[in-house]
Amino acid sequence: MTMSATVPLASRDDLSLAYTPGVARVCEAIAEDESLYSDYTWTSNTVAVVTDGSAVLGLGNIGPKAAMPVMEGKSVLFKQFGGVDSIPIVLDTQDVEGIIATVEAMAPSFGGINLEDISAPRCFEIERRLDAALDIPVFHDDQHGTAVVTLAALRNAAKLLGRTFGELRVVVSGAGAAGVAITNTLMAAGVQGANMIVVDSRGIIHAERGDLGGMKAELAAVTNVSGRSGGIAEALIGADVLVGVSGGSIPEEALAGMAPGAIIFALANPTPEVPPATAHKYAAIVATGRSDFPNQINNVLAFPGIFRGALDVRATTITDRMKVAAADAIAAIVADDLRPEAIVPSPLDPRVAPAVAAAVAAAAIEDGVARRSAAPVADTIAIEDGVAHLSAAPAPAVSISGAGTRPEPTP
């Protein structure tokens, strides 16, 4: 990673424009009208990638310094695929209140916050409270990025198999950050809560369990209406879909109870809950989180375009409609060429981020959370040699000659 200037500093005039006295005129303009802040600073295209190092990849709680390479990699992906600038930030605290206070305090430096690799259940409260407190998008990618791509893949799998999406019987194995978000996103997209069962390390989540609290209690109220109990084997009886985000292992005999022509997404990485060779015995379509098998459910299909679209319209939050729109855009890219081994596009497909950005921006406008109309995405993102280049509309001019000169407000 590196950081570079977007204007030359080759002469005294350049320096007087970029720094003093030019910078003072911009400061005065913003002080008088804070709505100009995003026009004249990098915040309109910059995201903070924030972690406390408590749940890094499959490595667990390895701390902030060991987490930094992942945050740097995430920032590179933001730039590569979405033309979004981002700064990796690792926090030397795992205290909920400390994380929230720190992110709130630094939020004016950014146009969005991408929370990363923060363990459940703390991640739910951190995201919820930051989203309520800040007027910029807050997005926990481990939750919602995974959910968006899972939804896209399931849309296409159902289409390929001739299934009615809303009638799918879905089992989610794992009730952590990804499992909760996948469950909620699938329901937001039309899967009936009555047809969804979530399984945690103690078995099926149902309303009569006395050990549930927080997000699990909320899931129990809207899923598994029939009150099925037991473990993963009981959950999978008659199921059309298994989504594994538990990191555990699901025995083959449990898969035997699934409906014929099932769909198995075993997303634990690097070791899927079900080995692909075993999954293919019981499923018509199989996906994993790994790049060396077909149908990789990869968050990079989602988060660069989601933030690109949100930043383009200066959205205040990321709504369920924006997430579903992102998933539908991802699914549509390969909808005309579906095969059991190709239900999602490649992470390197240059069509993905622009399509997702356009869909997210439109959904933000529909939901009333956009603060400006988006420019056509084709005008803001250009893919050259696999790299996204942003060509944003220029900010209104600020004169640096003449005391008291002010810019015209942006339409």
Q: Which residues are catalytic?
A: 19, 74
CA-based nearest residue to 242, from 272, 263, 220, 225: 263
Q: Are 180 and 219 in contact (CB under 8 A)?
A: yes
Q: Are 199 and 231 in contact (CB under 8 A)?
A: yes
Q: Are 182 and 174 in contact (CB under 8 A)?
A: no
Distance of CA 276 to the CA centre of its chain: 25
Cα 237 to Cα 233: distance, rounded to the nearest angstrom: 7
For 10, 53, 186, 219, the CA distances from 125, given in Å and listed in that order, are: 48, 17, 21, 16
φ, ψ at 211 (rounded to 5°):
-105, 15
CA-based nearest residue to 248, from 224, 229, 266: 266
Cα 142 to Cα 165: distance, rounded to the nearest angstrom: 24
Cα 272 to Cα 149: distance, rounded to the nearest angstrom: 17
Residue 192: CB atoms within 10 A of its CB come to 15
Strand, coil or helix: what is 407? coil
Helix axes 177-188, 320-333, angle to 10 degrees: 80
Q: Are 102 and 93 in contact (CB under 8 A)?
A: yes
Cα 366 to Cα 321: distance, rounded to the nearest angstrom: 9
Distance of CA 73 to the CA centre of its chain: 15
For 167, 263, 309, the CA distances from 156, given in Å and listed in that order, are: 14, 11, 23
Residue 231 pairs in a beta bridge with none
What string of DSSP letters covers 336-360? GG-BTTBSS--TT-TTHHHHHHHHH
Residue 234: CB atoms within 10 A of its CB come to 16
∠ CA 9-18-76, nearest 5°, is 75
Q: Which pair of tokens denotes residue 367?
A: 């939901």
